[in-house]
Structures are given as structure tokens and as C-alpha cells.
Amino acid sequence: MKSEHPKPVLLADYRPPEYLIDTVDLDIALDPIKTRVVSKLSIRRNPQSKITGKTPLKLDGELLELESISLNGKKLRRPAYTVSETGLTIPAPPKEPFTLEVTTFVNPEANTALQGIYLSRGVYCSQCEAQGFRRITYFLDRPDVLARYTVRLEADIAMAPVLLANGNPIARGTLAGRKRHYAVWHDPHPKPSYLFAIVGGDLALLASMFTTRSGRKVDLGIYVEHGKEARAHWAMDSLKRAMRWDETRFGREYDLDVFNIVAVSDFNMGAMENKGLNIFNDRLILASPETATDANYESIESVVAHEYFHNWTGNRITCRDWFQLCLKEGLTVYRDQEFSAESRSRTVQRITDVRQLRALQFPEDQGPLAHPVRPESYIEINNFYTPTVYEKGAEVVRMIETILGREKFRAGMDLYFDRHDGQAVTIEDFVACFADASGVDFTEFMRWYTQSGTPELVCDLTFDRRRKAAELTVHQTLKPSPGKAKKQPQFVPLAMALLGENGKEMDIAVEEGKEIRPGVLAVTHHTTKFRFGNVTSRPIPSLLRNFSAPVNVTIALSDDDLAFMMHHDSDLFNRWQASNKYASRSILAHLDAKRPKTLIASKASKFAAALEHALHDSTLDDAYKAELLKLPAVADVAREKAVRVDHAAIFEAHRAFSCAVAEKLADTLDEVYAHTSNGVKFSPNAKSAGRRALRNAALTLMTMRGTGDDYARLEAHYRQASNMTDAAHALVLIAGVDSPARDDVLQDFFERWKDDHLVIDMWFAAQAQSPRTETLDEVKALCAHPLFKITTPNKVRALIGAFAMANPLQFNRADGAGYDFLAEKVLEIDALNPQVAARMLGAFRSYRSLEPKRKGRAKSALKRAAMATRLSRDCREIVSRMLE
């Protein structure tokens, strides 16, 4: 690790590779501290690259111990090659195709960065995206070099009876002495090095079968720790449903005879789509009613689907370079969101996705880490696996669908798969398919990929009763962000309706302004005007229906208007949006009010009345009602406030409002809580989960009152819980209050689950999220707990991550101690795992919107981190962008 200032990589500097690699033969002899990798590469000049004469071959390589190199069977000696910390160069390779054979060693046990080959609880595994393959062997480690791989793996039978790699298995056997064995795998599909993977370990298998629509029989396997096989059934079920869904919705079939998933405990991210061999963080595979929450079940379903969908969007068609990351990620998130929407409730899925986008992506887009969906420069590519590339990237794809409609969108996707199968392509190639399939011009739309920032749409609606006409003016602003002062207006598909006095959508005529499709307006300029005829009464505007674009919309609406929308809006997303807006606006009003108590009482009682109406509406399902009952979180209100944020004041206002709403709704909440009580056998399906979500949302709100009865109910909820959803929900609530049962319950949970490394993460997180003043001291003490391990990313995320990202009150303590703690821990983690450390720094992303004192303290903590002598490239990049 060095603390130099490396030069950024620029999109504008992209050049095709000078050499291509057609085949890769790897022989990997696994050993905990000295794994030997023999790589045989067939290399030729790239006809598309304009190279002439002697062009050096530069292979990437990091942290490799080189033993020998030979070219066309002849051993090379220096100066026929040179080696540096970043790679191997052959200054004058032959002009004709040649074979290069290189032997290197790596040390899996010492690999705490978890990139390349490492050991996770005794299991050898690998992670190559984005640039981990260069930590296995010397290579052209870039996504536009596609090769066919054959891999021979060798290991101790006792330590690694299971040996897996990409593609199909072709041979296996035992070596003389019977202590070691080998397996050979061949992947017929050319792939970039980032999709390479191997696994070796003593793992249990849950096996199943899938027959594709054209009749290919696929062996499905999920490998997990022994004894955990039963917890892999939900993941297997999700996988099969995802495979079928991709056939019916996008016409995509699986293309190998085997599809394996391996669950490992040490993993930097969620999961990885390696061809035919997905590797998962075990928290995204293992689930049982006793050990996993409904939220865990949901993420397992969506991530298993996400990684599977990458087989077409990412693997068969991959990225030309890492700037195009959203080509595979935005598109695949869009696909997994659609899959979840069709497996569950579409509206609830949309609400969940939008909550997530606003909570994670909007702050990123408005702060120092803002970057376009397709960035133009990076120092460390691992820092760009962001909510902007993933979630905003998915919104951009969704807008294409909104603009074209389902059918033409599908025609564009079909063309994309036809035209680019087997290639490494760009966003331009992707968008051209939609333009070509539909005849629609996407030139202006491309700005969504190149301009960062969340557009603000300030709207104004006037009504002319005499002429039965209304006029909507939309002013669009896009604030400057790092590296881009002036921006052009975005092309925004604005789905809308005008609601009449009876609450129904009016049948309006668009007389001025462009309609993309009925009910979807084209907002194209800094100021765009629309005129509607046939407006028979004062209209209530329902704008940005179903959240048709990743923007913020402001329009003057009274509390009564919002209550009206909560009753009537036929767009259920906007009905929820109205309720959410009403609540956050009331909490914000409390902050500036002269007589906050009176104000809150009146706001809360009107809001509670509107909520009550919805809770009694039999046409709405439980999951949706739960979304209504979940008031905006403190962090959501802080985001709305946007400037001079004081989390302590917001927390108090939030508490006062929630408590007042809970008091007004007392009877209804009692009724909901009783009505949704358990008794039915556990099922992870959407309906049962919705019922639990509603009950738990009611419990949360009731607990806000903090009476003895409320705490007694809470404790009983924990003690009587028959599944982890209820138990974990109660645990988080109890950990957050000074209830007499708190210590007992935490102890009980610990005793029950101390041997389950995934469940114990919930115990760490519950304490780290507590808004009590003691939390920071407790978190510091927990860092020394025997079950906490700083080298395990899940533990770091459960304790330090939950404190920094999910505890706005205590992380943002007025004395700055939360910031100091995080900065100190980040430095400690950075020395072991830079990727995880850099992600933790994301907790500072909105520090500039804090009130001056907190802002100053956060900035000092960042500055101290910046001065550290040994800072990874990952953290150095984040800290300097934050301090720019």
C-alpha cells in the first residue's frame, strides 16, 4: 500500500487492446499459503489496434511471486521481460501468435483484501471483479479481452473435497498418495477475466434440476457450510423462478449444463455473477423462518435473481471498459426490480425501490461524491460500485421503458441481445438498439448518462375556471456538481394526472406541450409549459406518478390537498407519496414553530385521520398499509431539510410527531396489531410477509409513546415471536429504548444465537443503531467482543456500518465523537481491506449539509484521515473528493 497520488483513468483515453488472448489454460494447485498458478495464454495482436513494429506486451499483475516465464516453450530471462509492482512487460514479443507460460505463487491466507484468491472460514474462493484477476496471474485484466478458459484445480482432499470453476466439469481424479485430487473445468463461452472464479472447500450441496424452455437440462447446485443445506431452499426456489422469468419476460435461456452458487462468509459485497459459478455472501443465501427476517428473504430472492440475470446482461454481453459499468449493473438492477415486482406487489416494490434510491443515491448525487451514471474518470474503480451506477442506472433504463412502452422496449432489448451477443460494448451501443427498434431519437436522453445531480422540478399549476383550462409550468434546475458547473436540462418523462373534485382522474386534453404517451409529459427545457383543456373543476395535480423519473418535484399543495390524495389518488405510489410528504413536512414545521406542541397536535390529528381512513380501506393490502404506517425516518427528514441539518433537533421533532400520531391512532393501532397477530404457519410469501410488516409497523408506532404498557407489549412481542422477523424487529426497538427488559432481552438473544454468525450480526447491528446516548461507548466496547472480527466485512458492516449509516442521531453527535470514531476505524480497516474501508467513508457523504458545528467536526475527522501516512488508493480517492 502506498500513499502516492495516482493519476486518474479517463474514459476519453480508452483505446482497444493491442493484444488479444484467445485461450487461457490455468493449473492452480491450492495451498493456504503458497498456491501455485501456472497459466498458459495464447496471445495474438489485435487486428483492430493500429500497432506497428515492436509493441510491448504489458500484462497486469499485483502481489504475485513470479517463478518462471516461457514464450513458445522457451524460458525467458531478463531483459526479455521486466516486472514491476503493477505488472509484467515483454518489450518485444513476436509478431505472430504465440504462447506464454507463466508460473506464479499467491498467498490466500494473507489475503485480507478479499480480492484474488483468499480463504473464507477454510474455503478457498476468489473474487475478480473489477481487477482481482491480476492478483491471481499476469493478464490483460480488462473487460474487453474475452477468452475461453480451461482450469485444472488441485487441492488436499480433506480440506477441499469440492473443487469448482466456471463452465462445465470435464475431468477429475485422485493424485498418487491419495491425499490430493484435481478437477478440470471448461467454459465454452469467451469471457472477460473479471468473471473468472474458483472454489475449493469442504462444503455441503443442495442439488436440483432445471429444464430450460428448449429442453436443456441444467444441474443446479448451492454449496453451503455443512448443516446449513436446509437454509438454502429459498435461494434454490428463487433461482428457478428467476430462470423461468427470464425466459418468459425477456426470452433468455441459460446456456451451460451446470449452474452453481457458493455461499461464503467473507465477502466484500453482496454477490458475484461469475459465469456458471456465482459466489455469494452467505447472508444472501441462507434463510430459515427462525434465523432470517422477511427482509432477508426478499433480498435473497432479488440478489439470486440479479446474479442470474447477469448471465445475459453482463456476461454474454459485457462492458467495453469499466466506465460502462452501468451497462450491466443499471440494466440488471432494473431486471431484478421487475422480477421482484412481478413476484410480489408492484406498488410496494416501487415504494421500496424509491425509498432506497432517495436514501442512498440522492444524497450521493447532491454531495461531494456525485458522479454521472457513466463516470468519465476514476482513480479506483472499486469506488464506483455506487447507488448512482446501480440504482440511478436502473431508473434510467426504466425511463427508456416509460418512453417507449412495454412492447417497443422489449423489441429494443431483443435487438440488443441479437446484435451484441458475445461482445464488450458501450452505453451508446445499448441505447442505439432502442432508437433503432423504435425510431425514437435518444440524443437528449443521453444526458442522463453524462450529467450528475438530481434535477429539481419546481412546478406551478394555475386553473382558469371560466375557460375550463389549466396551465402547468415546470422549471427545471440541475445544480453544479464536482467537475461540472453548467448543465443542460434533462429529458424528463413526467407521468401525471389531474384529479377532480370527486377524486377521479379528469379526462383532460393536452393543448400545449408534448405528451410522450397518454398521461406522460415530456419535460425538455429549463422551463416547459403545458396547457390542458376540459378541466371542469379545481384540479389537484398528481405528478411524477409511479416515480416516473429520478427527480425531485415541488408543487404548492395544502395539507388538505395531501389528505385528499391520500384518500383518492388512483396512483397508489402517489397516494403513499402524499402521506410521506405530509408527515415529513409536519416534522419539519415543528423545527421552526413558535408553539411546536400546538402545531404538532393539530398536524398529527389531521394526518392520523387520513391514515386511519387508509388503514380501514379493504382494497389495500397489508404490505401497502405497512408502507403508509412507516413514517419517514429521521434520515429522510434530514434530507428534506437539506441545509444546516441538526440531527438532534430533527430526532426530537420526529419523536414528538410520531408520538402524537400514535396517540391519535391508539384504537386503530390496537385493532391492527390484534388483527394481524400470528397463528398461521410461517410462509415467506408476500402476503404473509405483508401481514407481519403491518403488525410490526403498528408496534413501532405504538412504542414511540414509550408508556409502561407499550414497553410491556414490546417485550411480549419479542418473547412470543415465532419467527426472526418479529424477534429481530422487537430486538431493534428494545435496544433503542430504556425499557427495563432491555438488558435481559439482549442477553437472551445473544445466548440463543451466539453460535450463528449471521444471526449474531443482527445483535451487533441492533445495538449500533440505538439512539441512546450510551451507544458510541457500547459500540467501542463491542469492537473488542470475541465474536467481532475486523477482517470479516459482514461484522464490520453490522457494527461499525450500522452505527455510521443507520444511526443518524448518535453518528452525528454534536461533540463529533461519532465522526472521530469512524475515521479511526476506517484507518484500521484500510490496512486490511481498502475496499471495505472506502465504503465506510461513504457515511460522510452529506457532511456539507450539516449545521456549521457538526460540519466542522466531520471535516476535521476527514482531514485527519487524509493526513494518515498509509492510506490506500481507495480511501485516498474518497477522502480527497470529499475535501475538494
- Choose the one of Zn ion, ligand 0A1, none that binds residue 769, judging by a C-beta under 5 to 8 angstroms depending on kind: none
Task: Find, among 753, 593, 804, 791, the residue nearest to 118 by Cα.
Answer: 791
Within 13 Å, how many C-alpha atoms sit on residue 610's CB side? 25
Distance CA 312, CA 296 (A): 25
Per-residue burial over 534-555, b = 16 or more CB atoms within 10 Å of its CB, e = otherwise = ebeeebbbbbbbbbbbbbbbeb
- Choose the one of ligand 0A1, Zn ion, none that binds residue 385, judging by a C-beta under 5 to 8 angstroms depending on kind: ligand 0A1
What is the nearest approach in angstroms of ligand 0A1 to the Cβ of residue 269? Answer: 4
Residues that bind ligand 0A1 (CB under 6 A): 127, 129, 268-273, 306-307, 329, 385
**Residue whose C-alpha cell reads 445466548 in the numeric block:** 751
Q: Which is nearer to Zn ion, 70 or 356 (CB)?
A: 356
Of these residues, 273, 301, 307, 627, which one is catalytic? 307
What is the nearest approach in angstroms of ligand 0A1 to the Cβ of residue 833? Answer: 10
Segment 192 to 211, residues that bind Zn ion, using CB under 5 A: none
Segment 288 to 317, residues that bind Zn ion, using CB under 5 A: none
Q: Which is nearer to ligand 0A1, 426 or 835 (CB)?
A: 835
Q: Which is nearer to ligand 0A1, 32 or 270 (CB)?
A: 270
What is the nearest approach in angstroms of ligand 0A1 to the Cβ of residue 248? Answer: 23
The answer to whether 784 and 610 have CB atoms below 8 angstroms apart is: no
- Choose the one of Zn ion, ligand 0A1, none that binds residue 269, judging by a C-beta under 5 to 8 angstroms depending on kind: ligand 0A1
Distance CA 653, CA 662 (A): 14
- Choose the one of ligand 0A1, Zn ion, none that binds residue 364, judging by a C-beta under 5 to 8 angstroms depending on kind: none
Grid coordinates of 110: 494473507
- Candidate ranges 4-12, 43-51, 321-329, 684-692; the one touching Zn ion (CB under 5 A): 321-329
Between the CA of residue 506 and those of 6, 24, 100, 312, 542, what are the distances in Å?
59, 64, 71, 42, 11
The DSSP string of 313-338 is BTTTBEESSGGGHHHHHHHHHHHHHH
**Contacts (Cβ under 8 Å, ≥6 apart) of 854:** 645, 646, 647, 812, 814, 816, 847
Size of the site for Zn ion (CB under 5 A): 2
Q: Which is nearer to ligand 0A1, 25 or 391 (CB)?
A: 391
What is the nearest approach in angstroms of ligand 0A1 to the Cβ of residue 299? Answer: 12
Q: Which is nearer to Zn ion, 62 or 273 (CB)?
A: 273
**Residue whose C-alpha cell reads 497486469 in the numeric block:** 60
The DSSP string of 22-84 is EEEEEEEE--SS-EEEEEEEEEEE-TTS---SS--EEEE--S-EEEEEEETTEE--TTSSEE-
**Contacts (Cβ under 8 Å, ≥6 apart) of 439:** none
x-or-dash string of contact with Zn ion, 329-368, rule CB under 5 A: x--x------------------------------------
**The residue type at 309:** F
What is the nearest approach in angstroms of ligand 0A1 to the Cβ of residue 275? Answer: 12
The answer to whether residue 627 is catalytic is no
Task: Find, among 583, 733, 720, the residue nearest to 664 by Cα.
Answer: 583
Sign of the CA dihedral with 48 first, then 51, 53, and 58 last = negative
**Contacts (Cβ under 8 Å, ≥6 apart) of 815:** 857
Neighbours of 458 (CB within 10 A): 15
Q: Which is nearer to ligand 0A1, 166 or 268 (CB)?
A: 268
- Choose the one of ligand 0A1, Zn ion, none that binds residue 129, judging by a C-beta under 5 to 8 angstroms depending on kind: ligand 0A1
The answer to whether 878 and 371 have CB atoms below 8 angstroms apart is: no
Grid coordinates of 604: 398529527
**Contacts (Cβ under 8 Å, ≥6 apart) of 584:** 632, 636, 637, 640
- Choose the one of Zn ion, ligand 0A1, none that binds residue 25, judging by a C-beta under 5 to 8 angstroms depending on kind: none
The DSSP string of 431-444 is HHHHHHHH----TG
User: What's the burial of 250, exposed, middle or buried (CB within 10 Å: 0-12/13-18/19+)?
Assistant: middle
Work out whether strand 424-425 and strand 318-319 pair parallel, antiparallel, or are unpaired: parallel
Q: Which is nearer to Zn ion, 309 or 573 (CB)?
A: 309
What is the nearest approach in angstroms of ligand 0A1 to the Cβ of residue 284? Answer: 10
**Residue whose C-alpha cell reads 458545528 in the numeric block:** 853
- Choose the one of ligand 0A1, Zn ion, none that binds residue 271, judging by a C-beta under 5 to 8 angstroms depending on kind: ligand 0A1
The answer to whether 317 and 190 have CB atoms below 8 angstroms apart is: no
Neighbours of 781 (CB within 10 A): 12
The torsion angles phi and psi of 58, rounded to 5 degrees, stand at -110, 110
- Choose the one of ligand 0A1, Zn ion, none that binds residue 402, judging by a C-beta under 5 to 8 angstroms depending on kind: none
Distance CA 380, CA 684 (A): 39
- Choose the one of Zn ion, ligand 0A1, none that binds residue 187, judging by a C-beta under 5 to 8 angstroms depending on kind: none
What is the nearest approach in angstroms of Zn ion to the Cβ of residue 310? Answer: 6
What is the nearest approach in angstroms of ligand 0A1 to the Cβ of residue 306? Answer: 6
What is the nearest approach in angstroms of Zn ion to the Cβ of residue 623? Answer: 26
What is the nearest approach in angstroms of Zn ion to the Cβ of residue 259? Answer: 16
**The residue type at 349:** Q
Q: Which is nearer to Zn ion, 332 or 548 (CB)?
A: 332
Distance CA 130, CA 195 (A): 9
Q: Which is nearer to ligand 0A1, 385 or 463 (CB)?
A: 385
What is the nearest approach in angstroms of ligand 0A1 to the Cβ of residue 267? Answer: 7
What is the nearest approach in angstroms of Zn ion to the Cβ of residue 302? Answer: 11
Q: Which is nearer to ligand 0A1, 125 or 638 (CB)?
A: 125
Distance CA 478, CA 748 (A): 51
The answer to whether 631 and 701 have CB atoms below 8 angstroms apart is: yes
| DSSP state at residue 588 | H
- Choose the one of Zn ion, ligand 0A1, none that binds residue 288, judging by a C-beta under 5 to 8 angstroms depending on kind: none
Segment 570 to 629, residues that bind Zn ion, using CB under 5 A: none
Q: Which is nearer to ligand 0A1, 266 or 710 (CB)?
A: 266
The answer to whether 218 and 212 have CB atoms below 8 angstroms apart is: yes
Distance CA 717, CA 701 (A): 14
Q: Which is nearer to ligand 0A1, 397 or 549 (CB)?
A: 397
Q: Which residues contribute to the site for Zn ion (CB under 5 A)? A: 329, 332
Q: Which residues are catalytic, by number?
A: 307
